[in-house]
């Protein structure tokens, strides 16, 4: 029997249960009816990040960034391109360290951009510095729990 995973809607933050085998079938949110996976990044506040982290059954790949950071802006298109390859296996999100300084301090984000991979509510890998899309995909693929 196919075990359902919890998937947090990137639009309304509703928690949905989706069978693992159906993740790639274009599931929609039971709350707002939007697509759960659009191969687009979700920009999360601290509160939204905590909700996704707590309830997501799929790993979260987070880009911690700031609007004034040149390497962050340079990596943004690569991170977006990586989302097209990695979803629905992972959820790719962005968290601004300017808008969530307490979260950045709590997670000891010392440089930006920083990629952090979370699975099961815990951080499992971290990479500081800008990467090209293929580098993001390779790095994430090497660290996604089986």
Known catalytic residues are: 69, 72
Cα 42–120–130 angle (5° rounding)? 45
Q: In what side-by-side order are the strands of the sheet with 122-128?
A: 42-43, 91-96, 60-65, 114-119, 122-128
Length of the chain: 146
Count of alpha carbons within 13 angstroms of residue 46, beta-carbon side: 11
137/16 Cα distance (integer angstroms): 26
């Amino acid at each position: 029997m196919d075990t359902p995973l919890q998937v947090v809607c990137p639009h309304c933050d509703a928690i949905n249960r989706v069978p693992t085998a159906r993740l790639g079938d274009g599931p929609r949110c039971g709350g707002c009816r939007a697509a759960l996976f659009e191969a687009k990044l979700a920009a999360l506040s601290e509160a939204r990040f905590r909700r996704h982290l707590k309830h997501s059954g799929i790993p979260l790949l987070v880009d911690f960034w700031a609007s004034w950071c040149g390497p962050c802006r340079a990596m943004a298109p690569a991170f977006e391109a990586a989302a097209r390859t990695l979803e629905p296996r992972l959820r790719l999100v962005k968290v601004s360290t300017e808008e969530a300084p307490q979260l950045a301090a709590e997670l000891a984000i010392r440089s930006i951009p920083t990629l952090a991979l979370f699975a099961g509510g815990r951080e499992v890998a971290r990479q500081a510095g800008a990467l090209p899309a293929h580098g993001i995909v390779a790095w994430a693929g090497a660290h996604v729990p089986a």
